[in-house]
Copies of this chain bind each other. A is one copy, B any other.
Amino acid sequence: MQNLYLIPTLLAPDTHDQVLPPEVVNKVAELNTFFVENIKSARRFISSLKIGKVIDDITFYDLTKDSNYDDILTLMSQLSEDIGVLSEAGCPGVADPGAMAVDCAHQLGMKVHPIVGPSSILLALMGSGFNGQSFAFNGYLPIDKKERAKRIRELEKLSFQHDQTQLFMETPYRNNQMLESIIQSCNPNTKLSVAVDITAPTQVIKTQTVARWKQEKSLDLHKRPAIFSFGR
């Protein structure tokens, strides 16, 4: 049976030993066909594993948010070898276009194998101290300031009403504005967790009330990847 392997990559440079189980390296060594979010970074990642693989022997296919489902399905149906899926960062199938390849694999009766690796969402949840029995990831919030504030208050309310941890993110260069919006929109007693630079040496994970976040304002989030969450 044909196999599809979902292969996680790094979240921060030079963290191979910290975040990748040997299975990741073993599978990359075996496979010669990859669907990738970004060919350049996929090549760089495979080279960084130092397994002596000749990059020119590998066939890469684009799998981006603009990929067409039917095209991917047709292409995958014509391949007979095992396939790897590589995301730009972290776990394929979580907040990236990898899910499309998995959907096609199920359609084609292929065997799907998710491999363990770093997910900023899961690590942020673990590090928050919030309810891990019930949680939701909500992706990016609206860019418009008013709509964003409205959505922030919705998520704050959801976390409280259902005791469900609500995780979300923002484009890194707007992270300071996001924190400011949260401070201005939310109840001072609401607990907010911010996880930045996950798995990097500069990682910070901090959970405290909105009132405390307002007092401190010491954490500069500008251009640093971050996950925000509300919970209790």
Contacts and interface: CB of A to CB of B under 8 A. Distances in A.
Contact of A18 (B6, B21, B94, B101): B21
A225 interface: no
A123 B7 CA distance: 11
Interface string A108-147: 0000111011110111111111111111111100000000
Protomer copies: 2
A81 interface: no
A230 to B, nearest CB: 14
Contact of A132 (B98, B203, B207): B98
Contact of A127 (B18, B20, B112, B122): B112
Nearest to A85: B126
Interface string A76-104: 00000000000000011111101111111
A199 interface: yes
A100 B128 CA distance: 10
A157 B9 CA distance: 34
- Interface range for A: 35 or more
A17 interface: yes
A205 B139 contact: no
A102 B126 contact: yes
A211 interface: no
Interface string A1-25: 0000010000000000111111100
A154 to B, nearest CB: 12
A94 to B, nearest CB: 4
A95 B133 contact: yes
A206 interface: yes
A106 B94 contact: no
Contact of A94 (B100, B112, B125, B198): B125
Interface of A: 6, 17-23, 91-96, 98-106, 112-114, 116-119, 121-139, 164, 198-199, 203, 205-208
16 contacts: A17-B22, A17-B23, A18-B22, A19-B116, A20-B116, A93-B128, A93-B132, A99-B132, A100-B129, A102-B126, A104-B129, A112-B129, A113-B203, A114-B198, A116-B116, A119-B119
